[in-house]
Amino acid sequence: MRQFEDEACQNGYKIIAGIDEAGRGPLAGPVVSASVVFPPGFSDPDITDSKKLSSKKRELLYSRITEYALSLSTGIVDNIEIDRVNILRASLNSMKISCESLLVPPDFLLIDGKFEIDTDIPQKAIIRGDSKSISIAAASIVAKVTRDRLMLEFDKHYPEYGFARHKGYPTKAHKRAILRYGATPIHRKTFKGVKEVAFAK
């Protein structure tokens, strides 16, 4: 999990940020990205792709990451902007926001996926990077925990939709709720399963 960090260090980079996002697939809520910078040589065998972890384990690791990271930040793009520019651009924008919000400016970026972000900072996009890089894995955990907490708050405003359970993802229960109650202000109106209902109302 340190292969890409060590490679960047060997190439002369000192402050390496891992970047990942959570929330590209849901029908509701924002997309959230996180950037994490660890001290040189940092390692933790428990930190891995957030999708492989239980919510309880993610919360525990979130606390550990915030304790040991030199810097971390998040970038949030809401559903209105997602509908305006599309989910890919919104995801990349949220990554850029998180990167630019770091209090310790990075000199190299490791980004999950195949797309780089719009910045002059040298970077490397890594497909399935959240299972190959400790920095990206940590960012995936921070992004997921941050977004899940936001969705728990939305659940208090819209309890009939079950956001606390599915976090906005297109489960059968969520789709039934949209058909029954219509789209909320946090639903992504351009997403299939929402736009048909949103524009029919």
- Could you tell me which of 193, 190, 151 has the C-alpha nearest to residue 168? 151
Query: Could you state, in order of their start, the residue ranges of all structural domains in the chain?
Result: 3-154
Q: Tell whether the torsion through CA atoms of 60, 61, 62 and 63 is positive or negative.
A: positive
The pLDDT confidence band at residue 64, using thresholds 50, 70 and 90, is: very high
Residue-level length of the chain:
201
Q: What does the alpha-carbon distance between residue 67 and residue 87 come to, in Å, rounded to a whole number?
A: 31
CB-based contact 70:38 (threshold 8 Å):
yes
The pLDDT tens digits for 6-58 are 999 999 999 999 999 999 999 999 999 999 999 999 999 999 999 999 999 99
* pTM for this predicted structure: 0.96
Measured between alpha carbons, how far is 97 from 85 in angstroms, rounded to an integer?
A: 15
* Angle value at C-alpha 156, between 179 and 175, nearest 5 degrees: 20
Coil, helix or strand at residue 170: coil
Is residue 201 predicted with pLDDT exceeding 70?
Answer: no
CATH superfamily for 3-154 is: Ribonuclease H-like superfamily/Ribonuclease H (3.30.420.10)
Nearest CA-CA partner of 102 in 24, 31, 19? 19
% of the chain exceeding 70 in pLDDT: 98
